Amino acid sequence: MSIVIDGKQVAASVIDRVKQATASLEQEAGLRPGLAVVIVGNDPASHAYVGAKSRMAKECGFTSIQHTLPEETSQEALAALVETLNADPAIHGILVQLPLPKHLQAEPIIQSIRPEKDVDGLHVVNAGKLATGDLTGGLVSCTPAGAMVLVRQVHGEDLSGLSAVVIGRSNLFGKPMATLLTAANATTTIAHSRTRDLAAVCREADILVAAVGRPMMVKADWVKPGATVIDVGINRIEAPERGEGKTRLVGDVDFQAVEAVAGVLTPVPGGVGPMTIAMLMANTLIAASRVAGRTPPRF
């Protein structure tokens, strides 16, 4: 049976450190971190995420501002709001919740956020810094940064000699995760929808990270005995056993089956998910610390 990592507990310890550093930043430099979260439209899942982020920012002692814009918001109006937030000295982090309604283009909006306020780590400057090995000068995308904290909990800082496989090659997760693993000296493979014999590729991994968006795709015989398995997927599936019309969240890993083979495993929910929001708080604190000319803590 594998050890199941409690992401909530690890996230809570990150949040504790953010709270302490926020208090000393305010005391010693007179600066309170500010996070602005922007949401457009009525998607209930996005509203739930944004609400949780805004609440957590308050709990951390930040100035927390939420802009809720109507579904029919124009590209120009959204761009103008980002410009205002870019220029606001009380705001150190800007997050535009994705996905945006279909009539809006996300990419120009993301790229218009000032890189030093891009706490989602999606700006090309931040992605580029990570890709070129600058792990401390930019802001790293929250979910891979959080998944990496979990990997470090198990294996420490140095992954020399370990092989890692990341399933998924998105800019949001797969690519930055592979870069972080490689930077920590893992020998890293990125697998995707065109990979031949994915199961065989996965079986080579000492650290297997699944970020696909396909419920319970990773089976027990895809996993090397004793491997660390990080499940990033969030999939809502029907759960008739809970009653008519009920649903539940599952990951990309068949948890019950893989639990018998893996050494360490993250659950869904309660694994990587809570780390994402914790790292958003960490990134906002890092951005604010830099404005105050202080060396930010490392998470």
Interface with ligand NAP (CB under 6 A): 143, 167-170, 172-174, 191-195, 198, 211-214, 232-235, 272-273, 276
Decide: helix, strand or coil at residue 40.
Answer: strand
Q: How far apart, in Å, do the first and last CA atoms of the chain sit?
A: 29
Instruction: State which residue, 21 or 209, has the beta carbon closest to ligand NAP.
Output: 209
- Could you confirm whether 16 is annotated as catalytic? no
The single residue listed with the structure tokens 């990270």 is 209
- Could you confirm whether 9 is annotated as catalytic? no
Least separation in angstroms between residue 51's CB and ligand NAP is 15
Radius of gyration of the chain (CA): 19
Q: Are 279 and 142 within 8 A, CB to CB?
A: yes
Tokens standing for 298?
A: 């490392």
Instruction: State which residue, 73 or 118, has the beta carbon closest to ligand NAP.
Output: 118
The single residue listed with the structure tokens 């996005």 is 46
- What gap in Å lies between CA 5 and CA 9, rounded to an integer? 9
Instruction: State which residue, 86 or 170, has the beta carbon closest to ligand NAP.
Output: 170
Instruction: State which residue, 81 or 165, has the beta carbon closest to ligand NAP.
Output: 165
Instruction: State which residue, 140 or 234, has the beta carbon closest to ligand NAP.
Output: 234
How far is the CA of 165 from the CAs of 62, 124, 151, 204, 281, in angstroms? 36, 24, 13, 8, 28
Catalytic residue among 9, 20, 75, 97: 97
Instruction: State which residue, 184 or 212, has the beta carbon closest to ligand NAP.
Output: 212
Tokens standing for 45?
A: 């899942």
Tokens standing for 15?
A: 């949040």
- What gap in Å lies between CA 18 and CA 14, rounded to an integer? 6
Q: Are 237 and 196 within 8 A, CB to CB?
A: no
Tokens standing for 248?
A: 């539940």
The single residue listed with the structure tokens 């998607």 is 43
Least separation in angstroms between residue 30's CB and ligand NAP is 33
Cβ within 8 Å of residue 141, ≥6 positions away:
120, 121, 122, 126, 127, 130, 172, 173, 176
- Could you confirm whether 53 is annotated as catalytic? yes
Catalytic residue among 118, 120, 206, 231: 120
Least separation in angstroms between residue 87's CB and ligand NAP is 29
Strand partners, 8: none
Residues with a known catalytic role? 53, 97, 120
